[in-house]
Chain A
């Protein structure tokens, strides 16, 4: 069949729906059918699934002209989604096409939720189109004879690639693709990404920087001109509006008219606990919403989530309180209004959420920004500028993640085994491992086989073995089994299923929260008040309770840092505080009372001023610096600065940072004059000082946790199975210390430092920030009380610790002993 005829089939289908294909959809079809690879830049709900499912099916029709009567079995295409919750949705859109076009193609899902029965059925007969997650794809690579399963695969589509890029799951994906390129002769690789700053690089990472695939690829952009309007909710009484906080409940009543005035409203919160609290509070204050208000977050069970999604489509809900769980996938035409509660931590995410409303092309998207504390109003004002300028963040891909590579090599060794020279060539062409050296490769192989770099006679290390033909293989069944369980644990903490005693599944919670409850405690979860009964295996048993409670499970929300561009916008907004009111934005004008308060003891810095504030509270001595450069730069700068200060005299302090500045809290005052006299903000020796500073704090240690788990050094136990493997559990903390003492040249130990360095602390931006500070006038204010600017910082409990004092000296100063 010619391409024209194939297009005709697609066109007909669109006609029957009363739709018209978009230019970007046709563009993708053409490129795909020409055998090209590509990256499709299209937002959620734009019809991106039809842009790629269609050519996949058309390609099958082309190769099998008698497709209506005969069915050629075997896997034809894989669709990767980072969220298994989305798989159902993707399956439906695929089935619509395969059925309507009278093909006999089958569509299947394989994720962590798939039953063992279904999985073994798939083993004998793979569906034609498979929807799966990056982890489940790795698991497929760990089963025997996987190459036969994939050999006729014509396409792999990586959906929401921007979510994976910049994470280790993205690296896992790169490795999986490098293998598929070899074993599938007729493979097309496609990615779908929302708008991010580094789209071109995203394509390069997906296809491999030096690959033929990249040469033969396209970047398709969906140009859906969409107008986005940001409206800030400005507190009527700024005098009583809090200086800190993250819930935003003060403005609950201001959100109500917004909900009333639109058909369906989505209220985005940043954490699941915030989501639970808002849901409860709205119902408490406005019981009339009962039945019309729902909640949606990642820990709510699947059925409820699907029900909520369906209800949005049916327009039977007035409002949904949700988290990033509704950021991705799922098209909701009826959503009219979006409210963002608290800073969205990123322009890309903010745009994506805004795009949730007014879904139809050409329609205006309105997003209301509800600040949770006063400083966020500056952010709100800057965000409007950012939306205008599309100042979207980059997602920085990982380089040389040895941990993921070790996991991958073990995966291959578990299935059919591998020959190193073959795999080395493959991974050398990935973005992540393009710079890996032969020595490092040999190190990794030694590590897999001997658990070290030299063989010791008494050693019983056992993992991968080398056969006589040079094939690397795992022969021990226990090791293979443990490895398969470990593949899924690339992200997240241990989670516990929450169930009623009779068995009804409610959702899952981090084990950390459950471990703090005692039987009889009542907590709020999934919008219900539940009494904790007991923990059994990996399940928490609960019953409904009428007791009121304020215990809400907390989850760590990802903390994205402002991009350089966004930070610049934020500073520009702040500087307008000095302007005459008529020229200011509404947000800045409304902040006048706060600025006045700030000026009582301190200043609102002007463009040529760098502000430092110091004061004492009963917590200790606070030293606050305001570079306004975004979280990541502040983290790096605080680490650098405290290291340099500690060289002048030993100190112990804890560090807190946000997008505006950072704080050093200590039990003794730091001599700021000395800091200034010694020019501690200098860029000289910046790199080596920063490196040294990492040794005295815990950032690298924290990074090591994931590395230890991913590389298989720490076994996390069997999720959901409740099998205890206690004799093999150790904490990554202990392991970190052992490496520090005995094997500091271990690549995995080293990786913890490079990762902190490259991923957490953006070195390039730090240098520019320091250069900027060098040109500013430093204004040091010794205050009597905390200032409004300092409030969000000094109340932050998540802190980085640093010390280079002798332990014994510190203990002598510690007055009281406290547990918990």
Chain B
């Protein structure tokens, strides 16, 4: 179940897979998928299960079907490594997905621009749309609200009986929202919220404000 929030009078739906749907623009924001990571590990002799490769595409299909967006904007680190055979699977996925795709490049995106352009995926360093700034690394800019990734945020919670939990989350500051990593087989980094931060944790198939 997505969780709906309002920023600058626009509606954003936070999806438990880690993507955000911008209702007014019909745009899906997804960050840090790290495609190709499994194949990269296998190429270097670490036998991560092959089936894990497909999971990312299953999740992508799931969120695209849920919102039927006009556009998908990847906020960087779409591909984990240099070109490997997972790229072909990505090509197939792009071709069968009837949606415009754009990429804001991240530090892991080292695949040649031409490769993306051949799939009609334009590349940007950043994008600004109606007072919203889309980047990979967190940015602060006056009069802009920033959507970004890179951090793979998580939150740690503590309860009675010495209980502790770590959960991936959407981490919202006053002028910024950091998306969780979308990809399977990616790690997380624990952030500490201050009073004015808002945290939306991913709890199985729900997004819960904590």
Chain A residues packing against B (C-beta within 8 Å) = 447, 451-452, 456, 458-463, 476, 478-479, 482-483, 619-621, 652-654, 665-668, 712-715, 727-728, 730-731, 734-735, 738-739, 741-743, 746, 799, 801, 806-808, 810-811, 813-820
Contacts known (A459-B85, A727-B40, A808-B206); A813 close to B46, Cβ less than 8 A: no
Chain B residues packing against A (C-beta within 8 Å) = 39-52, 55, 80-81, 84-86, 88-89, 155-165, 167, 184-187, 190-193, 199, 201, 203-204, 206, 208, 210
Give bound CA distance, A653 to B164, whole Å: 10
Q: Which of B55, B84, B165 contacts A460 (CB under 8 A)?
A: B84
Q: Which of A621, A713, A816, A818 contacts B46 (CB under 8 A)?
A: A713
Contacts known (A447-B47, A713-B48, A808-B208); A619 close to B162, Cβ less than 8 A: yes
Q: Which of A739, A746, A807 contacts B204 (CB under 8 A)?
A: A807
Q: Are A734 and B155 in contact (CB under 8 A)?
A: no
Residues on the A chain within 8 Å of B184, using CB? 738
Contacts known (A734-B186, A807-B203); A456 close to B48, Cβ less than 8 A: no
The 8 closest A-B pairs by CB, nearest first: A620-B161, A451-B47, A667-B161, A814-B159, A667-B160, A742-B51, A819-B192, A463-B45
Give bound CA distance, A761 to B155, whole Å: 33
A188 to chain B, nearest CB (A): 37
Give bound CA distance, A479 to B167, whole Å: 35
Contacts known (A460-B84, A728-B41, A738-B184); A621 close to B161, Cβ less than 8 A: yes
Residues on the A chain within 8 Å of B81, using CB? 727
Give bound CA distance, A811 to B158, whole Å: 9
Give bound CA distance, A727 to B39, whole Å: 12
Please indicate which of the listed interface residues A666, A799, A817 has the most CB atoms of chain B within 10 Å of its own CB. A817
Residues on the B chain within 8 Å of A713, using CB? 46-48
B8 to chain A, nearest CB (A): 26
Give bound CA distance, A174 to B47, whole Å: 25
Give bound CA distance, A807 to B186, whole Å: 21
Q: Which partner residue on chain A sits nearest B51 by CB separation?
A: A742
Q: Are B210 and A817 in contact (CB under 8 A)?
A: yes
Give bound CA distance, A156 to B163, whole Å: 51
B34 to chain A, nearest CB (A): 10
Residues on the A chain within 8 Å of B86, using CB? 458
Contacts known (A460-B43, A713-B47, A819-B190); A741 close to B165, Cβ less than 8 A: no
Q: Are B187 and A810 in contact (CB under 8 A)?
A: no
Give bound CA distance, A13 to B156, whole Å: 68
- CB within 8 Å: A-B pair count: 149
Q: Which partner residue on chain A sits nearest B87 by CB separation?
A: A458
B17 to chain A, nearest CB (A): 15
Q: Are B159 and A738 in contact (CB under 8 A)?
A: no
15 chain-A/chain-B pairs, Cβ below 8 angstroms: A451-B50, A452-B49, A459-B39, A459-B42, A462-B45, A620-B160, A667-B159, A667-B160, A713-B47, A727-B80, A730-B185, A742-B49, A810-B159, A814-B157, A814-B159
Contacts known (A461-B43, A734-B187, A738-B52); A654 close to B208, Cβ less than 8 A: no
Q: Are B49 and A739 in contact (CB under 8 A)?
A: yes
B141 to chain A, nearest CB (A): 27
Residues on the B chain within 8 Å of A727, using CB? 40, 80-81
Q: Which partner residue on chain A sits nearest B202 by CB separation?
A: A807
Q: Are A479 and B45 in contact (CB under 8 A)?
A: yes
Q: Which partner residue on chain A sits nearest B46 by CB separation?
A: A713
Give bound CA distance, A406 to B146, whole Å: 48
Q: Which of B46, B85, B162 contacts A458 (CB under 8 A)?
A: B85
Give bound CA distance, A811 to B169, whole Å: 13
Residues on the A chain within 8 Å of B89, using CB? 458
Residues on the A chain within 8 Å of B84, using CB? 460
Q: Are A654 and B161 in contact (CB under 8 A)?
A: yes
Give bound CA distance, A799 to B161, whole Å: 12
Please indicate which of the listed interface residues A451, A459, A735, A746 has the most CB atoms of chain B within 10 Å of its own CB. A451
Residues on the B chain within 8 Å of A456, using CB? 50
Contacts known (A799-B162, A814-B163, A815-B160); A738 close to B46, Cβ less than 8 A: no
Residues on the A chain within 8 Å of B39, using CB? 459-460
B153 to chain A, nearest CB (A): 12
Q: Are A482 and B45 in contact (CB under 8 A)?
A: yes
Q: Are B45 and A665 in contact (CB under 8 A)?
A: no
Q: Are B157 and A620 in contact (CB under 8 A)?
A: no
Q: Are B161 and A818 in contact (CB under 8 A)?
A: no
Contacts known (A738-B49, A819-B192); A462 close to B162, Cβ less than 8 A: no
Q: Which of A462, A476, A483, A810 contacts B163 (CB under 8 A)?
A: A810
Residues on the A chain within 8 Å of B158, using CB? 814, 816-818
Residues on the B chain within 8 Å of A447, using CB? 47
A734 to chain B, nearest CB (A): 6
If A461-B43, A743-B51, A808-B208 are given as contacts, then 14 extra A-B residue pairs at C-beta distance below 8 Å, sorted by A number, are A459-B50, A461-B42, A619-B161, A667-B161, A714-B46, A728-B46, A739-B49, A741-B52, A799-B162, A810-B163, A811-B157, A811-B165, A817-B199, A819-B191
Contacts known (A459-B85, A808-B206, A817-B193); A712 close to B45, Cβ less than 8 A: yes
Contacts known (A458-B88, A463-B45, A654-B162); A730 close to B187, Cβ less than 8 A: yes
Q: Are B42 and A451 in contact (CB under 8 A)?
A: yes
Give bound CA distance, A330 to B42, whole Å: 46
Please indicate which of the listed interface residues B43, B51, B89 has the most CB atoms of chain A within 10 Å of its own CB. B43
Residues on the B chain within 8 Å of A458, using CB? 85-86, 88-89
Q: Are A462 and B43 in contact (CB under 8 A)?
A: yes
Residues on the A chain within 8 Å of B51, using CB? 742-743
Q: Are A652 and B49 in contact (CB under 8 A)?
A: no
A258 to chain B, nearest CB (A): 39
Give bound CA distance, A445 to B120, whole Å: 43
Q: Which of A667, A735, A810, A815 contacts B165 (CB under 8 A)?
A: A810
Residues on the A chain within 8 Å of B41, using CB? 728, 730
Residues on the B chain within 8 Å of A667, using CB? 159-161, 163
Q: Are A652 and B50 in contact (CB under 8 A)?
A: no
B45 to chain A, nearest CB (A): 4
Q: Which partner residue on chain B sits nearest A739 by CB separation?
A: B49
